[in-house]
Amino acid sequence: MRPIHFAFGIHLHQPVGNFDHVMAQHVAEVYRPFLERLDERGCFPINLHLSGPLLEWLEGHDPGYLDFVGRLVTDGKLELLLAGMYEPVLASLPRRDRLEQIEWMRDALARRFGVKASGLWLTERVWEPELAADLAEAGVRYALVDDRHFLVSGFRREQLHRPYLTESDGRRVALFPIDERLRYLVPFRPPAETAAYLRELRSQGHRLAVLADDGEKFGGWPGTREWVYERGWLDDFLSTMTGLVEAGEVSLTTLTEALAQVDPGGLAYLPTASYREMEGWALPADAAQRLTNLEHDLGKDRLTGPDGALVRGAHWRNFFVKYSEANRMHKKMQALSLLCRRTGDPSLARRALGRAQCNDAYWHGVFGGLYLPHLRNAIWQQLARAEAELRREERLGFEWLDLDYDGHSELWIHSARFSALISPFRGGALEEYTRFDEGINYADVLTRRREPYHHTPIGIEGGHQGEGAPSIHDLESGMRLTEAPPVDQRDRAMLLERVLPADLAEDFYIRGQYRALWTPGSSTTVVDENEGGLTVGLVRMEGTATGLEKRYRFSGNGLVAVEYQWDPKVFPNASRFAPELSLAAPIEVTFDPGVDVWTYGITTVAKSERGLEETLQGRSLTPLWPIEAAMARIEFGR
């Protein structure tokens, strides 16, 4: 029998805005030793993707590692893969931005390593059918997707050990299915099991096995460094692969070589899809729990069989429905990208927008950085840089638009110094307040939500058992809480008004265990421009009486004053008017008249590859004016 071609690929990535010490630690403990061991043992060729954010960081902090990679590329030991330069989910971008991101990456690889890459690592393996035409136009010959993308279309697993062809709008690209079984064998199980699987595939007449996955598996995830290096998995794996190659059973290959040597399986049209875990993470909490229950009822044998692929969660874009904060970042990016195109695409703004398209902060699972404030802050900082460049010398102005595509218009106020977004539908809540000099959106505070892992999933045993290292499924299923964390009643923003009972205790308010006597709904809005700035008046009627009049006064330098007037007779006597400000960073705030203010840290409990983590998202400030005061004023941004 001929040897089976084994295309082995790793993807190395760190997000825009990640801490320098995290970057350095991964290079020292994962990325460098992995390639050095392969080089020592001559276990090549392999396929490698270095993400743009990591590539730029290495240029500034560890160019020697890139020189090492360059030598391996020159020696024909590595095939470098494309992606969007700043690791965006390509399907989520405007079409021109997709093409540009790939072109940036191709140019960066050509400049640094002297290669013209034509294969693509598809970020988070998020596929949409129309991507084929864009990839082909961008000069991509092949892309990597999960075998699950094929299985959900009715392909059988035994058909997937070869490339396939797909097209969109008459433009063709090849697709390599990544073998899920290999993803869970390497490096989590003893190398002998990988060898046995490759031999099994070869005995069945298959010509190709494809594995491409996160490089952080090889020492960056909990338990993997000890397993991969200290307990000898990597040395054993390399010895096993070398033995298979020398015995003529396996031939290590690049994906370009595999495309030339293995006949394609024919035509395939794939649906919108991502990897199995991602589709579950994208579901709302209640639906995710129902999916877990369904999987339990079907049983492991049924799920791992042909029927399992037909049990699916949601698509990646559903994170924009699940998390308003992700949607707001994404739609702000799209709006600025369009503005950038209309104004001649200044390069500084274009690059900042490219970095703001980095995927990590837009979603949440075991991975994904939505719950990490420093990653969201990095996105908003890049958006601030882009908008500051696009609004140079601009006077204070406004426009109406449905920025977040929820069917309700928002008021976008902006100048050369700041950008703000008011939602009249939410009673005039301030959903964004970005000051360009600081590069901070002070309204970027994550809402405390119920996540499915806040309750013990039915029928799943937690943790890793037996020989090997824990996979992500093991890590995820082992996460448990003894008590569910607080949940917010409304999505957070700056200036959410409530009328609260006078006897409400502060600790109940902090935990969200209360019922407001009144909250504003959609408000009538009037905008007035004048020499001193811009005034936005919002009125909420209660029957024939004015429940609340809220008036913003914006100055061009970003100073915001908010004035309230209300009719005390509309509300119960024993009550307090309590507008809440959720702040992502410290900023001077004044209250007039002076009043007691409840303040607390807004914390969330979320899962990561390290387990369940409590994270400070920002601070809540809630002044408590007696309802008979009838008026109040808040000022910030001075």
Nearest to 58 by CA among 100, 88, 18, 97: 18
3-state secondary structure of 223: coil
pLDDT at 638: 78
For residues 180 and 155, what is the distance between their CA atoms, to the nearest angstrom?
Answer: 14
For 279-311, letters b (16+ CB in 10 Å) and e give bbbbbbbebbbebbeebeeeeeeeeeeeebbeb
Which CATH architecture describes the domain 490-636? Distorted Sandwich (2.70)
> If phi over 0 gives left and psi between -120 and 50 gives alpha, with beta otherwise, what is residue 18?
beta
Between strands 440-441 and 410-414, the pairing is: unpaired
Burial class (CB in 10 A: 0-12, 13-18, 19+), 603: middle
pLDDT at 541: 85
Radius of gyration of the chain (CA): 27
Cβ proximity of 194 and 240 under 8 Å: yes
Cβ proximity of 43 and 241 under 8 Å: yes
What's at 512, amino acid-wise? G
| 248 phi, psi to nearest 5 deg | 75, 15
Cβ proximity of 179 and 275 under 8 Å: no
Residues 6+ apart with CB under 8 A from 167: 132, 133, 136, 173, 267
What tokens were used for 261? 């040597």
pLDDT at 464: 54
| 301 phi, psi to nearest 5 deg | -65, -40
Residues 6+ apart with CB under 8 A from 186: 194, 211, 213, 217, 237
Number of H helices, E strands in the chain: 21, 27
What tokens were used for 306? 């042909």
DSSP state of 570: G
For 13-51, letters b (16+ CB in 10 Å) and e give bbbbbbeeeebeebbeebbbbbbebbeeeebbbbbbbbb
Find how far residue 549's CA is from the centre of its chain.
38
């001193």: which residue's tokens?
A: 532
What residue spans of 10-130 are helical by DSSP H? 20-26, 32-41, 52-61, 63-74, 95-113
pLDDT at 466: 62
First vs last C-alpha separation in the chain:
76
């799943």: which residue's tokens?
A: 460
Nearest to 361 by CA among 626, 16, 11: 16
What tokens were used for 590? 């004044």
| 258 phi, psi to nearest 5 deg | -65, -35
Largest Cα separation within the chain, whole Å, is: 89
Which CATH architecture describes the domain 4-274? Alpha-Beta Barrel (3.20)
For residues 196 and 162, what is the distance between their CA atoms, to the nearest angstrom?
Answer: 19
So where are the chain's domains? 4-274, 490-636
Find how far residue 166's CA is from the centre of its chain.
27
For residues 96 and 354, what is the distance between their CA atoms, to the nearest angstrom?
Answer: 12
Nearest to 255 by CA among 119, 122, 146, 84: 119
Catalytic residues: 124, 214
Q: Do domains 4-274 and 490-636 have the same CATH topology?
A: no
pLDDT digits (tens, 9 = 90+) for 373-390: 999 999 999 999 999 999
pLDDT digits (tens, 9 = 90+) for 479-492: 667 788 999 999 99
pLDDT at 603: 97
Cβ proximity of 244 and 251 under 8 Å: no
For residues 462 and 297, what is the distance between their CA atoms, to the nearest angstrom?
Answer: 17
- What's the full length of the chain, in residues? 638
């002998």: which residue's tokens?
A: 192
Cβ proximity of 231 and 26 under 8 Å: no
For 172-190, letters b (16+ CB in 10 Å) and e give ebbbbbbbbbbbbbbbbbb
Look up the pTM and report it. 0.95
Three-point CA angle 426, 431, 435, nearest 5°: 155
What's at 588, amino acid-wise? E
For residues 324 and 446, what is the distance between their CA atoms, to the nearest angstrom?
Answer: 9
What tokens were used for 626? 């007696």
Question: SS in 3 state form for 450-492?
Answer: CCHHHCCCCCCCCCCCCCCCCCHHHHHHCCCCCCCCCCCCCCC
């939410």: which residue's tokens?
A: 426
Which residues in the chain land under pLDDT 50?
A: 458-462
pLDDT at 572: 92
3-state secondary structure of 504: coil
> Which H or E run includes 393?
none
Burial class (CB in 10 A: 0-12, 13-18, 19+), 522: middle
